[in-house]
Amino acid sequence: MDVMAIETCIAFLNATADVYEALSVHFARYGLSMGKFTLLMQLFHRDQISDEQQGLTPSECADRAGVTRATVTGLLDGLERDGWVKRKPIPGDRRMLRVELTKVGRQRLTEMLPDHFGRTRGLMENLTCAEKQTLICLLKKVQMGTPALLDP
C-alpha cells in the first residue's frame, strides 16, 4: 500500500470539494450553477470571436462541456426561463436550433465577470507564478492517472 498516494489523493479531493463548494456559493449570487456558467461562457466566447452573433447548437454546447445533450437541455431551459439565453431556429432546417445570449444575458455576464475573475485571482493568490505553472503540470499528470480508477 502506498500511503503517500492515499494521503495525496485525499488532500486533492478535499481541496477540490472546497473549491466546488465555494464556486457554488459564488455562482448562486448570480442565480447560476457551474454548469450554467460554463454554457454562458461558451456563448460569450463565441460572441467575442465572431463579428456576427451566431450562437451554438445545443449539441455543440454539450460536446464542448463534455456533458450529455439532456444535461444541456435542462441547463438551457433554466437559462432561457431566466432570460440569459434564447433558442432560435436555424433557417432552412426546422429541426435545428441555435442558442444565443440575450442582450440582458450578455449584460449580466459582462457585469459579473470582473467579480468572477477577481475571486479566481484571489483563489490562486497564495501561489507564485512558478507554483501556478507547476500546479498545472501536476494536475495534468493526475489527470493522466484517471484511467487507473476506471479499469476493471
**What are the C-alpha distances in Å from 81 to residues 31, 76, 77?**
12, 8, 6
Q: What are the boundaries of each domain within the chain? A: 3-145
pTM above 0.75? yes
For residue 53, the model assigns a pLDDT of: 60
pLDDT tens digits, 48-89: 876 666 789 999 999 999 999 999 999 999 999 999 999 998
For residue 68, the model assigns a pLDDT of: 94
Check whether 142 has a pLDDT greater than 70: yes
The class level of CATH for 3-145 reads mainly alpha
pLDDT tens digits, 92-134: 777 889 999 999 999 999 999 999 999 999 999 999 999 999 9
Give which of 114, 109, 104 is closest to 40, Cα–Cα: 109
Check whether 146 has a pLDDT greater than 80: yes
Give which of 124, 141, 143 is closest to 132, Cα–Cα: 124
